[in-house]
């Protein structure tokens, strides 16, 4: 339903599913993602928090998405805090500390760009070691950095690799479709 642009119908179906099984964290995450797409940020935040309550072991994974919602809502301090917490949860203490220091000293964009640039570097390093790295993730980072040329290089690779989330990514970044 979401792929076909039927977000409202998809939301109703997810609500029905959660009524039948309110203890399914993955469905709470699906609901949160859909609410975020509809710019219903407060409800998305609540759904992500509910997922964390249901599955505390996955809390680290939810920090990324919750941070994105905060960023879209303009709650930049909370955005950075969630991503710093996610980095710490992954054992990247030094990177987390640097991001927090940049936010305190130079503000939101400095901290965000540091994160995005180091994320690109880390993924490209993994790729150079022969590990598979989904090109869609790299494209997303380049879009966020404003580097459209590199974003298109990796979107092309994502297309050829048949990256699962490509349709959703293009829907969310519709300004890229006209180029």
Two tokens, residue 96: 């987390």
Instruction: Please state, in angstroms and rounded to a whole number, the distance separating the CA atoms of residues 63 and 52.
Output: 9
pTM: 0.81
Per-residue pLDDT 10s for the chain (179 aa) are 555 566 677 777 777 877 787 788 888 888 888 899 889 999 999 999 888 888 887 777 788 889 999 999 999 999 999 999 999 999 999 999 999 999 999 999 999 999 999 999 999 999 999 999 999 999 999 999 999 999 999 999 999 999 888 877 877 776 665 55
Instruction: Please state, in angstroms and rounded to a whole number, the distance separating the CA atoms of residues 42 and 105.
Output: 29
Instruction: Please state, in angstroms and rounded to a whole number, the distance separating the CA atoms of residues 56 and 44.
Output: 18
- For residue 98, CA distances in Å to 116, 120, 126, 164 come to 13, 16, 21, 32
């Amino acid at each position: 339903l979401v792929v076909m642009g039927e977000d409202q119908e998809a939301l109703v179906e997810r609500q029905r599913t959660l009524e039948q099984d309110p203890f399914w964290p993955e469905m709470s995450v699906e609901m949160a993602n859909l609410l975020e797409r509809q710019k219903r940020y407060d409800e998305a935040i609540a759904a992500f928090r509910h997922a964390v309550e249901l599955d505390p072991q996955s809390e680290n994974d939810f920090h990324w998405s919750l941070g994105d919602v905060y960023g879209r809502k303009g709650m930049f301090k909370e955005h950075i805090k969630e991503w710093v917490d996610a980095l710490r949860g992954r054992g990247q203490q030094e990177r987390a500390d640097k991001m927090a220091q940049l936010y305190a000293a130079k503000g939101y964009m400095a901290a965000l760009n540091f994160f995005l640039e180091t994320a690109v570097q880390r993924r490209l390093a993994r790729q150079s070691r022969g590990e598979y790295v989904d090109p869609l993730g790299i494209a997303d980072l380049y879009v966020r950095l404003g580097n459209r040329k590199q974003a298109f290089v990796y979107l092309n690779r994502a297309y050829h690799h048949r990256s699962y989330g490509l349709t959703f990514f293009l829907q969310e970044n519709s300004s890229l479709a006209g180029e």
